[in-house]
Amino acid sequence: ATNLSLSFSLFQNLLRFLPIKLKKFNSQLNSSLINLLSDDANYFNNCIQNIRFGNFFKTSSFNRLIQTYNYIISLKKEYNFVADIGSSDGSSSLDLTEKLNFNKFFFLDKYHECNLFIKDKNIYLFDDQNNLHMVETNHFIFYLDPIGLNKNFFNNFLSLYFKKIKIDNLQKISFLNPIYKKHKKRDKIIYEKFDLFDNNESNIKFDLLFISNLLNKFHKNKKIINILRKKIDQITNEDSLIVMAENSSYERSTIYLKNKNNYNILKRINGGSLSENIFQL
């Protein structure tokens, strides 16, 4: 019994390094991909947090930046265009969209929708370019690497194995939380694909810009930092507010006011954003 217990423990530790998760023993995987079809806001949100594209999991939770949002609301300003970049399913901004005065609120995400295929109780999740990123079975979730960011033997093997599956009747799914279907400002909320790294000129400049739990992923890459600085400048107006935030262990944010291409700090929440000194707006 002791040897069996030890073997199982080693097996669990091995799985941590593999693109495979055992659903039964991982509390983070208690929400099936099938809940992407649910109209229940909490089921949908729990499911979203298990989804990985490339190197990063989608992260989202309801009203995760409470202190930051309360400060923005307390300013009692009117905004034409507001954007939340890397918004995931939009659940974190729910309270903000209800209390803020705005013309249009843009939820922007590189992966704003997916394509789902269900066969023999297995669920296959593709991005909007039909690259297969995840497969869920009764007992496992497999994370694939179709865009080649996590190159290793296991990823290559899984990709080759699942290429054999005949795919048809894909169902397009929006990642916007279903709670917004009945939102009182639904006609003012826009959910779109957006990539901070593209070279396209933006036709819209935002008066209020949120970038949460995103910039901290690039702290060690100076080239990317310079690209993102230029992009932030490009998509904001004079007198825009820019909110740089994280909430890994607790909420932290830095709120800037743009003035003639300078960024003055209006407020720091809990010591300010982890990205503040790295990006130096």
Please tell me what DSSP assigns to residue 214: S
Percentage with pLDDT > 70 across the chain: 90
Distance of CA 22 to the CA centre of its chain: 23
- How much is the pTM? 0.85
Whole-number pLDDT of residue 13: 47
Helix (H, G, I), strand (E, B) or coil at 141: strand
pLDDT interval class at 151 (50, 70, 90):
low
CA–CA separation, 241 and 267 (whole Å): 11
Least confident of 19-33, 94-108, 223-237: 19-33
- Which residues, including other chains, have CB under 8 Å from residue 48's CB and lie 6 or more apart? 58, 60, 88, 89, 91, 175, 177
pLDDT in tens, 80-112: 999 999 899 999 999 999 999 999 999 999 999
pLDDT of residue 30: 53
